[in-house]
Amino acid sequence: MAQLVNRLSTRYATAIFNLSVERGTLNKNLDQAILIRDVLADEGCQNIITHPRISPAQKQSFFNESFSNHVSQDLMGFLHLAIAKNRETIIVPTLLSFIGMANDFVRKTTATVVSAVPLKSEQVNSLARLLSKKTNKQVSIEQKVDPSILGGLYVQVDGYFIDRTVKTRLQEVKLNMMEQ
């Protein structure tokens, strides 16, 4: 089942991507796909679109009310097609796949930065510039706070993990002391 969802979501995402490039609407559709993904991340929305007793007409009405004034006809067409073909479960995976394709194409990425305390805006901007130079992409920062790391920060971006936390440094010191 997972392979089928992956295959279908890739096929739909590729079609949306190619259509967006062809029509010159890639950046607009990327932003709109992120909006839809964020709205549908809510468990209540997921229950509405996947519930077997909610009719396809009601689901399409839900999408029309939620998105028709905010997203392109291409994305609305995808949403309606997924409902019509009883493929509601592939909507979010398709959007995620499309977002990944579009971000790669326009050289954008998101870095997750976890620090013990919230970073100041100039620190976030400086980190975004540094990561942009290293990845050769426009980097946006998703910031999280985790006091358990004690100090420093760690960064996840494009499959890389950079750990400069006090917690990790203390664990390394502890291991070195135990080895001696």
Mean predicted lDDT score pLDDT of the chain = 92
Chain centroid to CA 43? 16
Q: pLDDT band for position 1 (50/70/90)?
A: low
Q: Are residues 39 and 55 in the same domain?
A: yes
CA-wise closest residue to 102 among 11, 158, 31: 31
Residue 22: what pLDDT? 96
Q: Are residues 84 and 50 in the same domain?
A: yes
Q: Are residues 34 and 84 in the same domain?
A: yes
Residue 178 is classified by DSSP as H
Q: Are residues 36 and 6 in the same domain?
A: yes
Domain count, the chain: 2
Q: Domain residues for 41?
A: 2-104
Q: What is the pLDDT of residues 71-105, one digit of tens each?
A: 999 999 999 999 999 999 899 999 999 999 999 99
Instruction: Determine contact, residues 83/66, Cβ cutoff 8 Å.
Output: no
Report the predicted TM-score, pTM, of the whole model to 2 decimal places.
0.78
